[in-house]
Amino acid sequence: MSTSSTRGGGFLVGALYGLIVSTALFLVLSFLFPIQITTTPMADAGPAPDGAAPVVMETASAATQAPSVGGQPAAPEMTAPEMMQPDAGAGNTITVGGAGDSSPAPAASTQIASTEAVSEPEIATSPASVPDIGNGAPETAVPGAESAAPTAPADVAASAPVAAPSELADTPSGPAIEVFATAFTGDMSKPLLAIVLEDTLEGSLQPILDSGVPVSFAVPAGVESRITAQSIRKAGFEVVALIPDGTSRTDGVAENVARFMRNVPVAVALMDSDAPSLMLNRESMQTIIEATGQTGLGLITFSKNGELVARAQAEQAGVPFGSALQITDDFQDEELIIQALNQAAFVAGTNDRAIIFAKTRPTTINAMLRWFNSARAGQVELVPVSVVLQRLAN
């Protein structure tokens, strides 16, 4: 009895142990050798018709299930879901948004309009300045002129055609000293004094212009200065073409004089260089007289040795001629400049006329403004330079 019970308990333990081992073995084998599932790709159904919702997933229907085998239904063939891909085609269209939205996609190369702000063209609003008439500086308009002369680089200004002011556009008929002279109605019974200024661009000339004194301006003739010269003339002031220092007395004098007259075409006179003086040399003076004779330009030199010979040559040729006193750069004191102006007034009183030349240093401008209101200045008539030259010629 004891033996039978032991045998029965051992059988149960063995069966239980075998079940556990079998189950573990089945799980291990299932993990190592998983069941293979056969998939079949879907047939290309073509693009979805217009208005239809896009197909997201398809599964095998009952009609497509595998037939039964041996009276038993075969295991169904499972089909993995497959996403429908859009038909790219040649039209470069894709479906965006909801169903029915099939508008063409924008081309990838389409450029986006720039958002950078476009600046407005700048308009000059600064007031016109006093003419820059010295040392070949850029040319600007004279205050009071009807239109401002444009400022341009030298290489542009030299190549661009220059339009003359309307009243000067016609070819002059007559001597330049008459055609380009400004109107003057002063007291001709007084001694005449003409002031010729060369602008050094060191200060404003507006006080001189506002004084009402009919000064004349010497414009450098060695550079293209016609715009400056025409602007000065149109503003009511006379122009003198100033021969640059260093001009040769012997080489190409006639050609140089012709160029000087082209550079300053509205001048009433040609003024001598200071170093060396062309008009104080007999040969070069004769050449100048011959080169300017047909134009009717007046000639001005400086009061130095040789002046009497130059005057005799000009008078013999019938050319208006004058000699000028000079306020040199050595005059840096207002009192000395006023003394020089008093001396010029004395010469005018003695000879009935005189010319004085100065550069527009700030000290010189201040001294002149003081002198204009002096008693000595009241003893002479301040006139444009052409008035003095034409009286000398009479």
- For 201-214, write each residue's pLDDT tens digit: 888 899 999 999 99
**pLDDT-based confidence at residue 172 (cuts at 50, 70, 90):** low
**In DSSP terms, which residues pair with 356 in a beta bridge?**
195, 325
Enter the pTM of the model: 0.59
Residue type, 73: P
- 8 pLDDT band, cuts 50/70/90, is low
Rounded average pLDDT over 107-134: 38
Q: Which residue has the higher pLDDT, 76 or 112?
A: 76
CA distance 54 to 100: 10
> Which residue in 380, 315, 321 sits closest to 347, CA to CA?
380
pLDDT tens digits, residue range 296-334? Answer: 999 999 998 889 999 999 999 999 999 999 998 887 899
Taking CA atoms, 58 is separated from 36, 49, 61, 99, 309, in Å, by 21, 16, 9, 18, 122
Cα distances (Å, whole numbers) of residue 349 to 63, 152, 325, 337: 136, 44, 14, 18
CA distance 162 to 363: 35
C-beta of residue 305 within 8 angstroms of C-beta of residue 277:
no
**Run of H or E residues at 157:** helix 154-159
Mean pLDDT (whole number) for 106-120: 38
Write down the pLDDT at residue 23: 83
Give the pLDDT of residue 55: 42
Domain boundaries 181-393, CATH class: alpha beta
pLDDT above 70 coverage of the chain, percent: 61
More confident residue, 166 or 203: 203
CA angle 355, 382, 221 (to 5 degrees): 45
Residue 133 has pLDDT above 80, yes or no: no
Q: Does residue 72 come out as left (phi exceeding 0), alpha (psi in the -120 to 50 range) or beta?
A: beta
Mean pLDDT of 62-81: 43
pLDDT of residue 385: 98
